[in-house]
Each structure stands twice: as structure tokens, then as C-alpha cells.
Amino acid sequence: MTYEEAKAMLGTDGITCIVLKDGAEPLLSRTRGVRPIIQWIEEGADLKDAAVFDTIVGRAAAMMYALAGAGFVYGRVMSRGGAAELEKAGIAHECGEQVEIIVNRQGTGMCPMEQTVLEITDPAEALNALKAKIAQMQAMMKK
């Protein structure tokens, strides 16, 4: 699969994230948010120097891609904070559209994952905070 093919696949058939790595089958996810990259990190997927294509890349996702060692990140939508985080990590990146912030799914404010990492600078610390926030949100949805 080429980079252009991966970009074109985003959003089709519910695909939200694609990881391409030489010599490996592409990883595809239909899960929204930062959960795909967190799952791949926890499963020990080899993302070192991989090319990642994601529908939305905010600072939270960018920190996870830095933690995973990605070599390139494309975001259909990318926040300024996400781009800055990728630059800080030395990860080549591009986007279809750059926005100031990633908004929540209701469109009423900042994405809760972005809020979670607002004051965090260490990607490993961000991973733990994001996992805790996801668990908290899932517990609230079950009530």
C-alpha cells in the first residue's frame, strides 16, 4: 500500500487509522480517538519508523506516536499542538487541515483526551493519564 492509497482509505469503510511498516502487513483500525495507538502500544506492535495515517491527530495522539517511535504521521485533521509535539519528537508529518484545537464529539469544547495531556510533557506519563481517562469515561457510560 502506498502513502497515497493509505490517505485515500481514511474514512472509507469506517477506517480511522492505518499503520504502514516495511515488511509488515498494514495495521488498520475502525476505532475512534487515541484508542487504536494505545492498543497497539500495549500489544507491543512494532511501530518504530512506521508511517501512520490518522483521521484526527491532536497532541494526545502525537505523544502516543512519539512514544511508539513512528517515523511519519499524516493527519487528515491535525491540531497545532499535535504538529508541535511531532516536531519536538523529530517525526516527519503532514496534514490535510490544521486546526487550533481538537474539539470534543459534541462540538462544545476541547477533546477530553487533549485536556488530559494539556500539562503533560512526557509521552509515557501521557499514556498512563490517557488510559485512566478512557477507563473513567467508559465507567461513566455504563452508568
The better pLDDT of the pair 142, 71 is held by: 71
Write out pLDDT tens, residues 3-12.
888 899 998 8
Under the banding of pLDDT at 50, 70 and 90, the label for residue 140 is confident
Lookup result for grid cell 476505532: 31
Distance (Å, whole) CA 33 – CA 111: 10
Q: What percent of the chain has pLDDT over 90?
A: 76
Going along the chain from its start, the domains and CATH numbers come out as 3-142 (3.40.140.30)
Q: What percent of the chain has pLDDT over 70?
A: 99
pTM as predicted: 0.92
What is the 3-class SS of 73-129, one letter each residue? EEEEEEEHHHHHHHHHCCCEEEEEEEECCCECCCCCCECHHHHHCCCCCCHHHHHHH
